[in-house]
Amino acid sequence: MTLFSANLGFLWQELSLPDAVRAARVAGFDAVECHWPYAVPVDELNRALEETGLTMLGLNTSRGNPAAGDNGLAAIAGRRSEAEAAIREAIAYAVAIGAPNVHVMAGKAEGQEARRTFLDNLAYATSLAKVHDITVLIEPLNLRDAPDYFLTTSGQAIALIEELGADNLKMMFDCYHIALMEGDVEGRLEACMPHIGHVQIAAVPDRGEPDHGQLDYRPVLKCLERLGYRRPVGAEYRPAATTEAGLGWLQAFR
């Protein structure tokens, strides 16, 4: 049976993060994940995680200054100190709540200098994270939703992972982003599986509930099972109405 994680960056946005954790448990999710939890006191979030028995699988490094257009920092030359501070913040919060993964956001950049900067910051992140048995994730994003983002394809992610050679650096494989940028999600899963640390789903192309659209997730989930992926699949989608109103897919996909 496939396990599912509720991405609380999108689901139950009307609730506080601790209450969203509780709502995910009531709905039947097996785990939770989030984007930027830093404004939430650690003890409040830990209380909800302890009450529900759910694990917070991961969180993201800070985007920087979104009002100024930032969408991550780690590939931006000249902002190394900010990127390192964001990495330290994310790892410290992950340690405090027992999260096993930290997604290091690359940001808007291009070219070889950006690549070198990203690799340097990933080396810093993986070194700090390894002490706490935390996996660092990098995620290719599609250019429609994340214009000018540095990391856009699974092949680019694998090349970075292989060059750095850190055993705690993996890819966050979001089927929605991969479908929009590359197509052939099942083929890319097969090719990338040794490097995948987490998988996410959402409808293509509207990023809604995963039970409609151009990508049929039933064979995708069977592919993951065949490939030996046993961790929870992250539901990172934007509900069409309320979160509860769109949860019919959860039992159907089990």
What is the band of 16 on the pLDDT scale with cuts at 50, 70, 90? Answer: very high
Q: What per-residue confidence (pLDDT) applies to 82? A: 98
Catalytic residue among 50, 89, 139, 209: 139
Reduced to 3 states, what is the DSSP secondary structure of residue 93? helix
Q: What per-residue confidence (pLDDT) applies to 254? A: 86
Work out how many domains the chain is built from and give that number: 1
The per-residue pLDDT of the chain, averaged, comes to 98
Residue partners of 129: CB distance under 8 A and separation at least 6: 91, 102, 135, 136, 168
Average pLDDT over residues 71-99: 98
Strand order of the β-sheet with 196-201 is 31-33, 4-7, 233-235, 196-201, 169-174, 135-138, 101-103, 58-60
22: its two tokens: 């509780």
User: How does pLDDT run across 184-238, given as a tens digit for each residue?
Assistant: 999 999 999 999 999 999 999 999 999 999 999 999 999 999 999 999 999 999 9
Catalytic residue among 33, 51, 236, 244: 236
What is the band of 1 on the pLDDT scale with cuts at 50, 70, 90? Answer: confident
pTM to 2 decimal places: 0.97
Q: What per-residue confidence (pLDDT) applies to 38? A: 98
User: How does pLDDT run across 25-77, given as a tens digit for each residue?
Assistant: 999 999 999 999 999 999 999 999 999 999 999 999 999 999 999 999 999 99
One-letter amino acid at 5 equals S
What is the band of 5 on the pLDDT scale with cuts at 50, 70, 90? Answer: very high
Average pLDDT over residues 8-12: 98
Catalytic-residue membership of 163: no
Catalytic-residue membership of 236: yes
Q: Which residues pair with 154 in a beta bridge?
A: none
Q: What per-residue confidence (pLDDT) applies to 49? A: 98
Domain hosting residue 116, numbered range: 4-253
Smallest CA-to-CA distance from 61 within 31, 94, 28, 30 is with 94
Q: What angle do CA 152, 69, 177 make, to 5 degrees?
A: 25
Query: DSSP label at 106?
Result: B
Question: What CATH code is carried by the domain that includes residue 69?
Answer: 3.20.20.150
Percent of the chain scored above 70 by pLDDT? 100
